Amino acid sequence: MLKEDEGYRKGAIQFVAEDESLLQRLTGKIANSGGKEEDGENFYQQGFVKLHEQLKKGKYNGGAIRGYFFSICYHLWLNSLKKHKPEPYEQVPEPEPDEQDDPFRQFEIKEFKMEFYKAFLKLNERCRNIITLKLFIRESFSMDEIAKMLGFKDGKAVAGALFKCRKKWKELL
């Protein structure tokens, strides 16, 4: 029913657009999750396009439209992070052949690895488990597999936790 009602779609989008606090909440949430305020503004705009598509396809079944819109924007941002996934932390550049003979360079590399490991050990057990299962095992597990192993609700919950754990790890370094 909502799918065919163009007036409803326009009204819903206008209702969301008039709520200025949504943009502030979204930019704050993204900034607190390690993103930039500009990301929040960009995904806020993209969210309107996605909201229109969702309403047109009949994917919205009622409820809090502002919460639905906020969720769309936040998940668009999370999905963009997956596309631009940084290299795993374990990939420390190997020294050049001429550097292998340099004892000072060898010491620097060893010291860096130790600091990296010490910071890892400062993380809570949950973070260490998630990072180990996702980044340190050659055949890394999917987010859904990790969710089952560690008792998370689903893969999205693991992805959010992994993001926070990586952020904390970077802070410790």
pLDDT for 14 equals: 83
Tokens of 15: 């209702």
Residue in 46, 41, 39 with CA at minimum distance from that of residue 69: 46
pLDDT, one tens digit for every residue, the chain (173 residues) = 444 567 777 888 888 888 888 888 888 888 887 778 888 888 888 888 888 888 888 887 777 888 888 888 888 888 887 776 555 555 555 555 555 567 777 777 778 888 888 888 898 988 888 888 887 765 667 888 888 888 889 989 988 999 998 899 888 87
pLDDT for 1 equals: 41
pLDDT for 92 equals: 53
Burial of 21 per CB tally in 10 Å (0-12, 13-18, 19+): exposed
Residue in 84, 90, 97, 142 with CA at minimum distance from that of residue 113: 90
Report domain extents, the chain: 6-83, 103-172
Q: Domain 103-172 is in which class?
A: mainly alpha
